[in-house]
């Protein structure tokens, strides 16, 4: 089973390393960002299962990062702050944060909060409709329906799973082997050209539908769902 990924965002390197040490020890995969801009980049490339987000940071503060993340993602966010005002807690929750921890914190409490938030998120996702929407495009994995410019398009299950996987992580580049592992499964030992064939068929259905997104080939690497 893959480790759950946690993005730690704080401009205090000591806090980042302390959290990383305890989280790694508890079996999580971790990444660190020292400011808000770096954090937003890692949200797309690292694709965390949970974000621990400090409020007072250079470049972009935690409020701004939370607001930007919530435009495209429902990833759980736990806010970290040295400030304990009720106003901060209310604002964080209104922006879409899932929980709130004040500094200085007890690491055992942090681990317990993380587990609780991830558990709630997992339960919510079980009941959620799996659907992504972009301009003139709706990919619904719950009903296995692809709608292009208002018309439902007959699409084989694996093609739909492939475009859903790519579109759920916009602008992230995947190698063919990664797509075989993550869409076809680890038990698939076929030719990586299988991916190329499926992408070719999807392109026939999606080409020139919208100028706002496209299914792109990244030469020498693989594919991505590019959002402009």
Statement to judge: residues 112 and 220 lie in one domain? no
pTM: 0.57
Domain boundary, last residue among 127, 147, 179: 127
Residue with tokens 């999807």: 202
The pLDDT profile of the chain, 228 residues, written as one tens digit per residue, is 578 999 999 999 999 999 999 999 999 999 999 999 999 999 988 989 999 999 988 889 999 999 999 888 889 999 988 766 566 667 777 788 888 888 888 989 899 999 999 988 877 766 667 889 999 999 998 888 999 999 999 998 889 999 999 999 999 999 998 888 888 875 455 677 889 999 999 999 998 999 999 999 999 899 999 998
- Rg of the chain taking only CA atoms, in angstroms: 19
Answer whether 179's CB lies under 8 Å from 188's CB: no
Statement to judge: residues 121 and 157 lie in one domain? no
Statement to judge: residues 86 and 143 lie in one domain? no
The four Cα atoms 105, 110, 116, 120 give a dihedral, to 10 degrees, of: 90
Statement to judge: residues 96 and 189 lie in one domain? no
Q: What is the pLDDT of residue 218?
A: 94
Domain boundary, last residue among 111, 127, 143: 127
* Beta bridge partner(s), residue 33: 9
Statement to judge: residues 66 and 136 lie in one domain? no
Pairing of strands 29-33, 5-9: parallel
Q: What are the tokens at 50?
A: 């949970």
CA distance 172 to 154: 26
CA distance 20 to 12: 12
Statement to judge: residues 116 and 145 lie in one domain? no
**Residue 169, C-beta contacts closer than 8 angstroms, at least 6 positions apart:** 44, 47, 225
Statement to judge: residues 112 and 211 lie in one domain? no
CA distance 124 to 122: 5
**How many domains is the chain partitioned into structurally?**
2
Query: Which domain CATH number covers 29?
Result: 3.40.50.2300
Statement to judge: residues 110 and 22 lie in one domain? yes
Q: What are the tokens at 85?
A: 């005002």
Query: Which domain CATH number covers 139?
Result: 1.10.10.10
Q: What is the pLDDT of residue 105?
A: 87
Statement to judge: residues 111 and 179 lie in one domain? no
Q: What is the pLDDT of residue 90?
A: 72
Number of other residues whose CB lies within 10 A of the CB of residue 15: 18
Domain that holds residue 23: 5-127
Statement to judge: residues 137 and 117 lie in one domain? no
Domain boundary, last residue among 105, 127, 149: 127
Q: What is the pLDDT of residue 87?
A: 61
Statement to judge: residues 52 and 94 lie in one domain? yes
Which three-class secondary structure state does DSSP give residue 154? coil
Statement to judge: residues 212 and 195 lie in one domain? yes
The phi and psi torsions of 69 (rounded to 5 degrees) equal -60, -40
**Residue 206, C-beta contacts closer than 8 angstroms, at least 6 positions apart:** 137, 148, 163, 214, 215
């Amino acid at each position: 089973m893959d480790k759950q990924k946690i993005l730690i965002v704080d401009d205090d390197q000591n806090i980042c390393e302390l959290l990383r040490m305890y989280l790694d020890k508890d079996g999580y995969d971790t990444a660190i960002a020292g400011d808000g801009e770096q954090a937003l980049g890692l949200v797309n490339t690292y694709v965390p299962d949970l974000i621990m987000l400090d409020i007072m940071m250079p470049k972009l503060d935690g409020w701004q990062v939370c607001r930007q993340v919530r435009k495209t993602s429902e990833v759980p966010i736990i806010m970290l702050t040295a400030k304990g005002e009720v106003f901060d807690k209310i604002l964080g929750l209104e922006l879409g944060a899932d929980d709130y921890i004040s500094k200085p914190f007890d690491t055992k409490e942090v681990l317990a909060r993380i587990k609780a938030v991830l558990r709630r998120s997992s339960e919510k996702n079980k009941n959620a409709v799996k659907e992504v929407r972009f301009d003139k495009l709706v990919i619904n994995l719950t009903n296995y329906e692809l709608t292009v410019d208002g018309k439902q398009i007959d699409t084989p299950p694996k093609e739909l799973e492939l475009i859903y996987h790519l579109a759920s992580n916009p602008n992230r580049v995947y190698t063919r082997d990664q797509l075989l592992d993550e869409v076809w499964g680890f038990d698939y030992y076929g030719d990586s050209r299988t991916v190329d064939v499926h992408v070719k068929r999807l392109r026939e259905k999606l080409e020139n539908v919208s100028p706002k997104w496209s299914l792109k080939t990244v030469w020498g690497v693989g594919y991505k769902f590019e959002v402009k």
